[in-house]
Structure 1
Amino acid sequence: MDFAEAINALAGKIRDKKRGIETEEATKNAFIMPFISSVLGYDVFDPSEVVPEFVADVGVKRGEKIDYAILKNGEVRMLVECKKIGEPLNLRHASQLFRYFAVTSARIAILTNGQAYQVYTDGDAPNVMDEKPFLVFDLLDIDRTLIPEMQKLSKDSFDLDSVINAAEELKYIGMIKRIMASEIKTPSDDWIRYFVSRAYAGKATQKVVDQFRPLVTKATSQYIGDQVNDRLENALGGDLPNAGSIEASLPAGAVTVEVDSVSAPDPDIVTTDEELEGFNIVRAIAVAEVAPERIVHRDAKTYFAVLLDDNNRKPIIRLHLNGKSVKYVTTFENGNKMGARYDIASVVDIYKVAEQIRSVIREYAREDVVAPVS
């Protein structure tokens, strides 16, 4: 299995077994050793790769042990300190990591409880472990954008220079994301004042801040709900039956989605030259009705969408051009949200549905006309 599959398999085991784990040793055996072995790819039974209960005498501290040392070519590359599953990760309870980091050749230190991981290096001062991790992840709530960075720690892909070079950026991006998640869940006064200063003409007194707090919370939840709906709509190939219901169904304060997890690009989506050619044909047809800059595209795994005003609720056409033998397009004229299919032999055949393309754009124009208030 590949790296991501190995993570998913271990995550499933943690979900199933974590309630029955009551000690640090059981955590190591059930979750941490499988992570080192199955995910990172090191042989936990080969002492030239993984040394449990690693000892390196540090000043007056004699015989103190670190849970695991991971070696490469006889040199310590990573130190791993373990806690019991469910126990909060706190560097105050992992002072060995600081001491061992300074007296070994390790440049990477990992603090984990088997589910959550914090990864440190010495970016702030040489040979002195940073107080803040550059990489933080939870195997039960994995951020897929971090998987390539996690993979750099694996035996097959270990690249210390690449890890160190990316560490500072990752550290600050991670901190910013955690701050945003916290503010979305429990907005601080400073966060509220930021919006008050831009949306309210008066003075941002504490009373005004308190009045705006539920408004900011609701607006944030609705915005994230809209983004999730758009992504699901795009993935499922049509309007959701109850658009907006995701946010409405969530209890107050429950929204903890990190912003970039909504907007991160999918590495599995590849936009082809043929799809871009098709987009240019659609735009050439559409300019009879609207300005060309209003015609935009979004690529998905199963189709290439062309939209009006970059609005997922205004699909013009979807191009299905990646099939081995069958190519077709879907148009959305006459209010048909499911779309009408037209088989084509080549991308040039898009001109055969020119009238359908223009028709749906005219329909959106009519919908946008606001009737005068009587």
Structure 2
Amino acid sequence: MELNNQLKALADKIEQLKNKIENEESTKHAFVLPFINLLGYDSFNPTEVVPEFTADLGLKKGEKVDYAIFQNDHPVMIIECKNWKEDLNVHNSQLARYFHVTQTRFALLTNGIEYRFYTDLDETNIMDEKPFLEFDITNLKENTINEITKFHKSNFDIDKIVDNASSLKYTKEIKKLIHIELQEPTFDFVKLFANRVYSGRLTERVMSEFNELVKKAFNQTISERVSDRLNSALHKEVEKQHEEEYEEDEEISKIVTTEEELEGYQVIKAILRRKISTDRIVHRDTQSYFGVLLDDNNRKPICRLHLDGTKKYISLFDQNKDVQREQILSIDDIYSFEEQLLQTVAYYEQE
């Protein structure tokens, strides 16, 4: 939950500042370094975060990647940053070169808003062409936040992240394909379903009809599933409400107002009627005590009677609503607390 709030705060900051950020260096300091910090790494500690990390390749010297995250004296992730306005699609080849020579397992390409995480699933020490995790920090979903959490310093486990990366990568690609097919089904996609439900020859006219039918069927299926989920959620909410009402009724049913409590209530009304109208004096019984309130307001307790035990008590309230508990032998003993009861009402009338 804490990381979730930190990510949201950073996203809000980006929305406020981005139009004032003009270059790559400002993007690093305003957007990228805060992201590194919220992952639990100290950007001012050179044993954890190394800026301008050397990534020389063969005869080509002086190549540097913007940041390298270190654990146990070894780089575990390199980060290449671009201006927030730049398109990241034209920069992954540069990062791939750095990845090869630094012997790291993860590479991050970012412009401070878009984040793309890479590893070497296809070929060892060769950065994959496509990222296994990709997101816009200003539009994060809960499942994405769960994946980001795995990169936090306290959770970071190379083997676990790599094992999960394959699933993330291919799931992401499949979802993209599904989205494309739902928008505009391809010939092969339509043919897959037409072959299973249509026994005639798949002419151009038939395929054209099935193109619309497949699109319509998928959209209806999605709408129905969403509707079912909503109805299920509403049903559970109604059930929960009924359970709470039942529990409340059960609690109420356990409360028994005794003749003795009502007799005590009449004594209290008799005492207070000299100062206030009796219709302002209300009783409210609970399992623990019989309460008397001014104006049926929980914030204005006059007193409480405890008459169910072997010993009987009255609880009185002072100006600060601190409770003073006094033992009584009979209901008539309530008259001896006349002054305190009248004073309690006076406190409320002065508010």
Letter in 2 for 1:2: E
| Residues 65, 96 of structure 1: 8 Å contact kept | no
In 1, distance between residues paired with 2:14 and 2:53?
Answer: 26
Moved more, 97-106 or 74-83: 97-106
Change (3 A) 1:26 1:319: same
Q: Is residue 159 of structure 2 the alignment partner of residue 161 of structure 1?
A: yes
Q: Is residue 196 of structure 2 the alignment partner of residue 198 of structure 1?
A: yes
Q: Is residue 239 of structure 2 the alignment partner of residue 318 of structure 1?
A: yes
In 2, distance between residues paired with 1:217 and 1:14?
Answer: 38
The Cα shift of 1:216 comes to 2.9
Mapping for residues 175-324 of structure 1, pairs under 5 Å:
175-235=173-233, 237=234, 303=237, 318-319=239-240
**Per-residue Cα deviation, 1:9-38 (whole angstroms, up to 9, x for no partner):** 223333444445443333323322221112
Letter in 2 for 1:162: K
Instruction: Tell me the SS of whatever aligns to 1:329.
Output: helix
**Per-residue Cα deviation, 1:201-249 (whole angstroms, up to 9, x for no partner):** 33333333333333333333333233333334444x36xxxxxxxxxxx
Q: What is the aligned counterpart of 1:148 among 139, 146, 149?
A: 146
Q: Percent identity?
A: 46
Alignment-derived partner of residue 4 in structure 2:
4
| Residues 319, 329 of structure 1: 8 Å contact kept | yes
In 1, distance between residues paired with 2:185 and 2:22?
Answer: 35
**Per-residue Cα deviation, 1:295-316 (whole angstroms, up to 9, x for no partner):** xxxxx6xx5xxxxxxxxxxxxx
In 2, distance between residues paired with 1:85 and 1:79?
Answer: 18
Change (3 A) 1:219 1:57: same
Q: Is residue 24 of structure 2 the alignment partner of residue 24 of structure 1?
A: yes
The Cα shift of 1:158 comes to 0.8
Q: Is residue 116 of structure 2 the alignment partner of residue 81 of structure 1?
A: no
| Residues 108, 121 of structure 1: 8 Å contact kept | yes
| Residues 10, 34 of structure 1: 8 Å contact kept | yes
In 2, distance between residues paired with 1:84 and 1:106?
Answer: 24
Instruction: Tell me the SS of whatever aligns to 2:79.
Output: strand
Letter in 2 for 1:318: E
In 2, distance between residues paired with 1:42 and 1:35?
Answer: 9
Change (3 A) 1:186 1:143: farther
Q: Is residue 113 of structure 2 the alignment partner of residue 115 of structure 1?
A: yes
Instruction: Tell me the SS of whatever aligns to 1:123.
Output: coil
In 2, distance between residues paired with 1:120 and 1:150?
Answer: 13
In 2, distance between residues paired with 1:232 and 1:134?
Answer: 31
Change (3 A) 1:209 1:20: farther
More helix by share: 2
Structure 2 segments unaligned to the other structure (5+ residues): 252-351
The Cα shift of 1:50 comes to 1.4
Alignment-derived partner of residue 95 in structure 1:
93
In 2, distance between residues paired with 1:84 and 1:232?
Answer: 41
Q: What is the aligned counterpart of 2:243 among 329, 332, 346?
A: 329
Mapping for residues 337-348 of structure 1, pairs under 5 Å:
342-343=246-247, 345=250
**Per-residue Cα deviation, 1:151-190 (whole angstroms, up to 9, x for no partner):** 1111111111111122222221121112112222332222
The Cα shift of 1:65 comes to 1.6
In 2, distance between residues paired with 1:180 and 1:116?
Answer: 22
RMSD (CA atoms): 2.7
Alignment-derived partner of residue 72 in structure 1:
71
Letter in 2 for 1:221: N
In 2, distance between residues paired with 1:21 and 1:208?
Answer: 55
Letter in 2 for 1:166: N
Instruction: Tell me the SS of whatever aligns to 2:211.
Output: helix
Structure 1 segments unaligned to the other structure (5+ residues): 239-299, 304-316, 321-327, 331-340, 347-374
In 2, distance between residues paired with 1:218 and 1:107?
Answer: 44
Letter in 1 for 2:112: G
Alignment-derived partner of residue 55 in structure 1:
54
In 1, distance between residues paired with 2:204 and 2:84?
Answer: 41
Q: Using structure 2 for the length normalisation, give the TM-score.
A: 0.63
In 2, distance between residues paired with 1:217 and 1:84?
Answer: 40
In 2, distance between residues paired with 1:228 and 1:17?
Answer: 37
Instruction: Tell me the SS of whatever aligns to 1:318.
Output: helix
Q: Using structure 1 for the length normalisation, give the TM-score.
A: 0.59
In 2, distance between residues paired with 1:172 and 1:112?
Answer: 21
Alignment-derived partner of residue 35 in structure 1:
35
Instruction: Tell me the SS of whatever aligns to 2:207.
Output: helix
In 2, distance between residues paired with 1:204 and 1:14?
Answer: 53
Larger radius of gyration: 2
| Residues 81, 94 of structure 1: 8 Å contact kept | no
The Cα shift of 1:101 comes to 1.9
